[in-house]
Amino acid sequence: MFEYKFYQVQVGALNGKPKENYEDLVKTHALEGWKLHTFQPLPFSAGGQAQAIQLIFERPIER
């Protein structure tokens, strides 16, 4: 079995760039045993731009 952690990175409205360094987030979570499972854009603005990116991390549940 696995457990999952969801993390949202906001995207700038004018420039479309992430407001946080997502590469550092992935590396930090990896040190804690998390693996990046997937990412997905969240609600789109009227212009079609994602307002946030959701990172979904996965790791085995230790029993």
pLDDT tens track for 40-61: 988 877 777 888 999 999 999 9
Q: Where are the alpha helices (DSSP H) in the chain?
A: 22-31
> What is the residue whose two structure tokens read 């029993």?
63
The ranges assigned to domains in the chain are 2-60
pLDDT of residue 18: 87
Where is pLDDT greater, at 20 or 63?
Answer: 20
Q: What is the pLDDT of residue 58?
A: 98
Give the whole-angstrom CA distance, residue 35 versus residue 56: 9
Higher pLDDT, 8 or 13: 8
Cβ within 8 Å of residue 29, ≥6 positions away: 5, 7, 36, 57
For the residues 34-44, what does the mean pLDDT come to? 91
